[in-house]
Amino acid sequence: MRFNRICSPLLLFLLLCQPLSAASETGELLVVTQNLNRFYDDHDDRQKDVVYSSRKYQQRLVKLAQKIATEFNFADVIAFQEVENRAILLQLKRLLKKNYNKDYRVILEEGNDVSGIDVGFMINSKLKIESVQTLFKKNLHHKKGGKLFSRPPLLVKICPSSCITIINVHLRSMRGLNSKQRRQWVIEKRKLQAETLARWIQQFQYRKPKDYLMLLGDFNALTPSDFYVDVMGTIIGNPDQSIPQSKSADLITRDLIDLTRKVAATSRFSYRYRGRNQLLDYVLVSENLADRVNSVEFSGIDHSFSDHAALRLKIILPEHSSAQEK
């Protein structure tokens, strides 16, 4: 329901005449995360990336806009992984405005990936964005040299009512674990990424115990753990101490909640590897946000669009709270 925009007293104007977001009108926040499977554009920027033909690029762009309109239901917050640059999301923004009269803000910071893929957000333009931050971009992988995160986690703090801090992640894949030459390096990097995130989560929850926190995206990690390192258990705050060869300490006092556990086991997958269903994409939230989740579901995998399923969730918006930490 929209308020009448005819207001006279200044106080009523301030309270009632501000534009309302779709989320505010429904009392829910719709969030989607989607790996786009190396979404490149048709421009040759002379990096180690792929250059699509203009026709193929426009086809992918139109199909993505259609996905947002249908399967994503014009979500309030859309987190993408494996998108080449901000220009792609800006063209997507213009397409959504032209075809559907929907307006989004684009957030993407260039990372360290040699192939040029990054993480980014499309956020309903009516939502207040309080802050944007790239995490760990300059952190080094000291055992081998080079940057620890090829795709540094991207943080946005949005305030539809009370504020929610959302972190878009795309962690190091398991590629190389079957190689005797590369295995130890891959294990160490994946473990250090997970522990770096876990320490950040611990500090965030210690400094801002009443704030709402969400991590989502392509974690490239299995549940239960693989045989080498328990990436998801470490980030959640409950690392497996039996299976992995390289074990992590429990670095988080207040464990996060894995919302994919709410999905029926038969539908709890986002990727297929050699014909087997795997869960690689997750949404993790702080305990104070878990009870506000109204629904969680995976889409089917549309291989003409991406090799990952989308993960969608609805959150019942918290009320403003003066007790929340700033």
Average pLDDT over residues 112-124: 96
SS3 content of the chain, % helix, strand, coil (to 5): 25, 25, 50
The confidence score (pLDDT) of residue 143 equals: 59
Separation CA 316–CA 65 (nearest Å): 26
The confidence score (pLDDT) of residue 7 equals: 36
Q: Which domains does the chain have, with CATH numbers?
A: 22-316 (3.60.10.10)
Average pLDDT over residues 286-313: 96
Beta bridge partners of 39: 83
Residue 91 has which token pair?
């063209």
What is the DSSP annotation of 208-247?
Answer: -TTSEEEEEEE----SS--SS--HHHHHHT---SSS-SS-
Residue 312 has which token pair?
């969608």
Separation CA 26–CA 287 (nearest Å): 23
Q: Is the pLDDT score of 12 beyond 70?
A: no
Give pLDDT tens digits for 180-206: 999 999 999 999 999 999 999 999 999
Sheet containing 281-285, strands listed edge to edge, beginning at the edge strand earlier in sequence: 129-134, 154-158, 164-170, 212-218, 281-285, 257-258
The confidence score (pLDDT) of residue 46 equals: 64
Q: How do beta strands 271-273 and 257-258 pair?
A: unpaired
- Arithmetic mean of pLDDT over the chain: 90
What is the DSSP annotation of 53-95?
Answer: -HHHHHHHHHHHHHHHHTTS-S-SEEEEEEE--HHHHHHHHHH
Q: Is the pLDDT score of 18 beyond 80?
A: no
Separation CA 307–CA 36 (nearest Å): 8
Average pLDDT over residues 46-61: 88
The confidence score (pLDDT) of residue 279 equals: 98
The confidence score (pLDDT) of residue 161 equals: 80
Give pLDDT tens digits for 63-89: 999 999 999 999 999 999 999 999 999
Which among 285, 281, 279, 287 is positioned nearest to 314, based on CA atoms? 285
Identify whether the C-beta of residue 165 lies closer than 8 Å to the C-beta of residue 211: yes
Q: How confident is the model at residue 23 (pLDDT cuts 50, 70, 90)?
A: low
Start-end of H helices in the chain? 10-16, 22-26, 54-69, 86-100, 183-207, 231-236, 287-290
Residue 311 has which token pair?
């993960």
Which has more pLDDT, 145 or 201? Answer: 201
Q: Is the pLDDT score of 294 beyond 80?
A: yes
Q: How far does the chain reach from its first CA to its final CA, in angstroms?
A: 30
Average pLDDT over residues 39-58: 88
Q: How confident is the model at residue 93 (pLDDT cuts 50, 70, 90)?
A: very high
Q: How confident is the model at residue 160 (pLDDT cuts 50, 70, 90)?
A: confident
Q: Is the pLDDT score of 304 beyond 50?
A: yes
